[in-house]
Amino acid sequence: LADDGYRLWLKYDQLPDAGQRKVALRNTRFIAVPTNASATLQAAARELQTGLQGLLGQAVPVGGEARGKGGIVLAVAPDPALGREGYRVAVQDGNIRISAATDVGVLYGSFALLRHVQTGQPLAGVSLSSQPKIQYRLLNHWDNPNGTVERGYAGSSIWKWQELPEVLDPRYQDYARANASIGINGAVLNNVNASPRLLTAEYLRKVAALANVMRPYGIRVYLSVFWAAPKVLGGLPTADPLDPQVQRWWTAKINEIYQAVPDFGGFVVKANSEGEPGPQDYGRTHADGANMLAEALGQHDGIVMWRAFVYKAGPNGDRFKQAYEEFQPLDGQFDPKVLVQVKNGPIDFQSREPFHPLFGKMPRTPLVLEVQLTQEYLGFATHLVYLGPLIKECLEADTYAKGPGSTVAKVVDGSLEQHRISGIAGVANIGSDRNWTGHPVGQANWYAFGRLAWDYTLTAKAIAQEWTQMTLTRDPAAVPTIVQLLDQSRSIYVRYTTPLGLHHIMGQTLHYGPEPWLAKSARPDWTAVYYHRADAEGLGFDRTAQGSNALSLYYPPVQQQWGTMATCPLNYLLWFHHVPWDYKLSTGRTLWNELTTRYYTGADSVQWMQKQWAQVQPAVDPALHADVTARLRVQQREALWWRDACVLYFQTVARRPLPPGLPPPT
Ligand code: GCU
C-alpha cells in the first residue's frame, strides 16, 4: 500500500530487526492502566497498544492491573520533580513504569516510549524523563470560517465548520494525537485576522465539539478575537475597552464561552495591525485592550496573547522599529494574565531575520515567541525547507539582557525574569491535504516545532533524525543522508533567494518568487526597494546610527557586533548596512562577487539536494519518494528563477560583470 503521508510520524510500521522485536515483546507483555482510568489514560493505553502492535507485530492486551512482570504500567503519582506535564519512564519491579503527576504527563510519557521504540532504541533498562520548558505550546491556525486558510498551502481548513458540531471528522482525533505526541497543548482555531462569527453561539457549539475531541489529549482550544465584536455582534456603538458596556459585553461573552468549553484556553488578539480594529481606534493603548480582556476573563483559567505585529506606513520610518516603539513603553502595564506575542524577527517571517529587538527589552511582560511553520516566504509547499535550524537560531540568539547567555529561549521560557507563565506559538502548516502539510517534509516542521517547544535544547539535527526514522525510513545509510539534506535545506534556500541579509524582495501579491524591482505598492514598506536600497554605491538597509538606527534597540554587545561592516556576521550584513559593491568581505570577495556567488552556489545546491534524495530512493516509500522528487524539480527550476531574476536586477544597479567562472543567467 502506498504511503499517503496521513499517519505522519505515528507510523508504527513493524521494526525490521526480528531480534529487537523479540526483546521488545518480552518487555511489553501487557499494558496496565488504573481502573476508572480517565479518557486521557485510556488514550495513552490505546496509543501504546496500537503502536506496539504495529511495531512489534503482536497484540498487547490492556488490563486493569499488572499481570506479573514484563509489562507496561501506567501510574499517576505526585512527583514534584516532574511538574504538571513531565513524565518518567523507568524499569521498576520488572515492569516499564510510565509515571507522571497528571494523566496528561502519562500520555506524554507513553508517546516518549513509543518514540524510543520507533527510533530503534533498546527497551531493556529504558530510562527517560522530561518536562517541558515552556508552558503554553500552541499551534496558531490561520483558518477562516469559509474553509480557506490564510497563507495555507496544504488544501483547505481541517475544521469543517459546516458539519460541526454533529459530524466529527476522525481527522480531529488524529490531529490531537499528533500534537500530543510532540507535546503541543493548545490550538488557536482561527485566523488572527479574525471573523467575529467564531464568537457567536452557533460557532461556540462547534468550538465545543472540537474541544471535546482534543481534551483527552491535553489540548485546550483558543480563539482569535475580532476586536470590534461588541459592535458587530453585540450592537454596541463602540468597542472602546474602557467603556463599561463593552466590558460587560466581553464578560458575558466569556462566561458563555466557558459554559460551552470549561477548559477554554483564552484569546489571541491582532489589533490595530494591518487594518484590523483595536483599542487605538478609541485613543487607548494595547495594554488597555489586553487588560480589559484579562479582566473579563475573571476567575476563568484563561490567558490573553496580544500580538505585537504592528507597523505604521511611512516613507521615512523603518518598519523594523515600529513594534518596538509601540510596545516597549508598555512594559509593566499589562495584567498578569497577558502575554505579548512577538514574531521571531522584526519584519515578517523572512527566511532569515535577526531576533526581534523586543526580546529582552520587556522584562516585566511574558513574551510568546511566534514562529511560522507554514512557508509563506519559504517556498510554500513546493520548496523543501526544514525549519528546525531557523527556530533554533532564534531561540539561541543572545539578547544580552542580563549579560551573556540571556538567550531568546530564556526570555521566552520565563526563566530570565522569573515569569509565572510562558508561551510559544507556531503558525500551523496544516490543511486538508491527505498528508496534512502539502510538502511531505512540511511535516518535519510541525514536528520540530513541537519538540523544540517542549525542549529547546534539542538540536535541529537530532529532531530531524527522529522525524526521519519515524516517518521516512530506518535504513541506517539513508537516515544520515536525509538528515543532512534537511539540515542544509534552509541555508540553501536563503542562498538562492535572499543571501547576506537581503529581505522582503519576494513577489508582493502572493509572497512567492522574486520581485526585487518592485518600487510601487499600496504602502512604501510593501516594496522591495524599500528593503534592499540598491543604488550605484551599494546594497542593503543602513540601520546604524547613520541610517535608521534600528540597531540602537538592541543591547550594546549586540549593537557592537552588528554595528560595523567588519564585525557583522555575513548572514545579517544587509539587514544593517548599506555596503559598497566593491567592499571586501571576510570571504575575500567583494560584496558584488559574494552576492552573485551565493545566488549561484545556492541554486547549484538544489541539485545536490536532488542527488541526496535520489540516493535514498530504495529506502523510502515509492509514492512518497516520487512526490518529493517532483517537488524538488519545481524547487530546482524556481531556484534558477530566483537566481537569475535577482542577479540580473541587481546587475542593472551595480553595473558590474559577473565574477569569472559564473555562467551567464539562463
Ligand atoms: C503577514 C501575512 C498576513 C498575516 C500577518 C500577521 O503579514 O502576510 O497574511 O495576517 O502576517 O501575522 O498578522
CATH of residue 355: 3.20.20.80
Q: Do 552 and 603 have their domain in common?
A: yes
Residues 162 and 182 in one domain: yes
The three-class DSSP label of residue 173 is helix
Ligand 1 pocket member 295 (CB < 6 A): no
The finding on whether 193 has its CB within 6 A of some atom of ligand 1 is yes
**Residue 483 falls within a domain, yes or no?**
no
pLDDT at position 284 is: 98
Kindly give the distance from the C-alpha atom of residue 106 to the centroid of ligand 1, in angstroms, as a whole number. 37
Q: Based on the domain organization, do 58 and 152 belong to the same domain?
A: no
Which CATH number goes with the domain that contains 559? 3.90.1330.10
270 Cβ inside 6 Å of ligand 1 = yes
- Count of structural domains, the chain: 3
Q: Is 151 in the pocket of ligand 1 (CB under 6 A)?
A: yes
The reply to whether 150 belongs to the active site is no
Q: Tell me, what CATH number does 63's domain have?
A: 3.30.379.10
| 376 is an active site residue | yes
Which of these, 101, 95, 97, lies nearest to 112 by C-alpha position? 97
- pLDDT confidence of residue 124: 87
Ligand 1 binding pocket includes 526 (Cβ within 6 Å):
no
In a domain, residue 13? The reply is: no
Coil, helix or strand at residue 338 = strand
**Pair (124, 200) in one structural domain:** no
Residues 218 and 284 in one domain: yes
39 Cα: distance to centroid of ligand 1 (angstroms): 37
Residue 268: CB within 6 Å of ligand 1? no
562 CA distance to ligand 1 centroid (A)?
27
Flag whether the pTM goes above 0.95: yes
- 38 and 186 share a domain? no
Distance CA 659, CA 593 (A): 6
Residue 125 and residue 142 in one domain: no
Q: Which DSSP letter does residue 17 get?
A: -
CA–CA distance, 108 with 124 (Å, rounded to integer): 20
> How many Å apart are CA 404 and CA 406, to the nearest integer?
6
Grid cell, residue 37, equals: 482510568
User: Which residues, 6+ apart, have CB-to-CB distance to 377 below 8 Å?
Assistant: 348, 349, 350, 351, 506, 511
Same structural domain, 265 and 141: yes
Which residue among 62, 97, 130 closes a domain? 130
Domain span holding position 85: 18-130
Ligand 1 center–CA 617 separation, angstroms: 37
Q: Is 348 in the pocket of ligand 1 (CB under 6 A)?
A: yes
Query: Could you read off the pLDDT of 561-611 as tens digits, one per residue?
Result: 999 999 999 999 999 999 999 999 999 999 999 999 999 999 999 999 999
- Of 79, 106, 130, the last residue of a domain is 130
328 lines ligand 1 (CB under 6 A): no
Distance 420 CA to ligand 1 centre (A): 29
- Pocket perturbation via mutation, ligand 1, pick of 192, 273, 525 by most ligand atoms within 8 A of CB: 192
Residue 536 and residue 454 share a domain: no
CA of 102 to the centre of ligand 1 (A): 37
431 C-alpha to ligand 1 centroid (Å): 17
Residues 594 and 445 in one domain: no
**325 CB less than 6 Å from ligand 1?**
no
pLDDT along the chain (666 residues), means of 10: 91 94 94 95 98 96 90 95 97 97 98 97 94 98 98 98 98 98 99 98 98 98 98 98 98 98 98 97 98 98 98 83 97 98 98 98 98 98 99 98 98 98 99 98 99 98 98 97 98 98 97 97 92 98 97 98 98 98 98 98 98 98 97 98 98 97 91
Considering the domain architecture, whether residues 213 and 344 belong to the same structural domain is answered as yes
Active site residue 274: yes
Give the 3-state secondary structure of residue 538: strand
Task: Check whether residue 71 and residue 100 sit in a common domain.
Answer: yes
* Domain contains 112: yes
In a domain, 473, yes or no: no
Q: Catalytic residue among 256, 348, 475, 537, which?
A: 348
Give the relative orientation of helices 478-497 and 388-396 as an angle to the nearest 10 degrees.
Answer: 70
Q: What are the C-alpha distances in Å from 192 to residues 123, 188, 306, 506, 602?
A: 44, 9, 10, 23, 34
Q: Which of 96, 113, 130 is the last residue of a domain?
A: 130
Here the ipTM equals 0.99
Q: Is residue 217 part of a domain?
A: yes
Tell me which of 85, 376, 433, 627 is the catalytic residue. Answer: 376
Decide if 471 is inside a domain: no
Q: Which of 143, 372, 376 to mutate to test the pocket of ligand 1 (most atoms within 8 A of CB)?
A: 376
Mutate to test the pocket of ligand 1, among 274, 319, 368, 374 (most ligand atoms within 8 A of CB): 274
Query: Is there a domain that residue 349 lies in?
Result: yes
Is 481 domain-assigned? no
* Strands of 475-595, DSSP E: 538-539, 579-580
